[in-house]
Structure 1
Amino acid sequence: MLKLFRIIAVLEGISSILLFFVAMPLKYLFNNKEYMRPIGMAHGVLFTFFIIIALYFALKEKWDFKKGFIVFICSIIPCGTFYVEKKYLKDV
């Protein structure tokens, strides 16, 4: 399950990069909406999986409030899941 969580964390970070630095500029600067829906949908699904798996690990591993708070806050910061994967998921 940890391996899945680490993969989801990395994929969610990549999807946020693609959404914020590829799809959104294409939409708003070049009026090209073609990539917004698939990238946005992928990002939303990966974000949801990340939150569900993070909640599972927070309960299973009995994370303290600080660790759980940082993991959940990093999930809403663009590319924050890279930090979570590097710092917190090595020892779970």
Structure 2
Amino acid sequence: MGLVEGGSLLLLLFIAMPLKYFFGMPEVVSVVGALHGGLFTVYVLMIVYATFAVRWPFRFTVGALAVAFIPFGNFILDKRLENWKQLKAA
């Protein structure tokens, strides 16, 4: 879910916003912004689920919430979680 939400943020910042400000198409931001908002809400719910059901460490919860506001942040977090999973399995 983090990758989908992160992708929607990139779409909003690098496609929809330039279309609004450089090409006078504000409706694109309305649509993509609403989509991103819905995905962000689902992302936060998934973080809450992971925190309690999977017993994520608190630092993962804080980190997952923080990277949602940073472009490409969710992609970096995903890679770190994969590495953590591999270390934990070993």
- Same-fold call, TM > 0.5? yes
Name the stretch that deviates more: 8-17 or 81-90: 81-90
User: Gapped runs of 5+ residues in structure 2?
Assistant: 86-90
Q: For the residues of structure 2 that align with 1:74 and 1:42, how far apart are their CA atoms?
A: 18
TM-score when normalising by structure 1: 0.79
Q: Which has the higher contact order (CA 8 A, sep 6+)?
A: 1
The one of 9, 15, 18 equivalent to 1:16 is 9
**Deviating runs (4+, > 6 A) in structure 1?**
none
Q: Residue 66 of structure 1 corresponds to which residue in structure 2? A: 59
Residue 55 of structure 2 aligns to a residue whose secondary structure is coil
Identical aligned residues as a percent = 33
TM-score when normalising by structure 2: 0.80
Amino acid at match of 1:84: L
Per-residue deviation, 1:56: 0.5
Structure with more of its chain in helix, by fraction = 2
User: Gapped runs of 5+ residues in structure 1?
Assistant: 1-7
Q: For the residues of structure 2 that align with 1:54 and 1:42, how far apart are their CA atoms?
A: 18
- Residues paired across the two proteins, number: 85
The one of 71, 75, 80 equivalent to 2:73 is 80
Structure label with greater radius of gyration: 2
RMSD of equivalent CA atoms: 1.9
Q: Residue 88 of structure 2 corresponds to which residue in structure 1? A: none
